Amino acid sequence: MNLKELREKGALVADDLIKREITWTHRVDGEEMVDTFSVFVRKASFGLVDRLVNDESIKSQATELIVECIRLGDDGSEKLTRKDVQALDPFLANEMVMAVRSVNGVDDAEKN
């Protein structure tokens, strides 16, 4: 195997965005609301995963994962800041993390 073959086989993670549906259940004025909407997920590269695991300055891996991988807007051009992510409803943040896990095959690995 050489580098060209690795590239051709998709071994180097592209910046492509993958659309995922999120369903978020929350309360507004005491009434339960259910919102379903699309987010775009950027696949995590080894460099990102390595940084999340080994960079001691990262205070929250989940926050960093959302900042780096979740995109909003009609075309996925909107990026959340760390401050935005930290202010999210915890249930919505969890749905975003689950979308990232889905795109990166984490859920499939846990089933085996």
Is residue 108 over pLDDT 80? no
Average of per-residue pLDDT values in the chain = 91
Percent of the chain with pLDDT over 70: 94
Instruction: Tell me how far apart the alpha carbons of residues 44 and 9 are, in angstroms, rounded to a whole number.
Output: 17
Per residue in 48-89, pLDDT tens?
A: 889 888 988 888 899 999 999 999 999 999 999 999 999 999
Per residue in 38-55, pLDDT tens?
A: 999 999 999 988 988 898
Domain boundaries, the chain: 15-107
CATH of 15-107, one of 3.30.2220, 3.40.220, 2.60.410, 3.30.2010: 3.30.2220
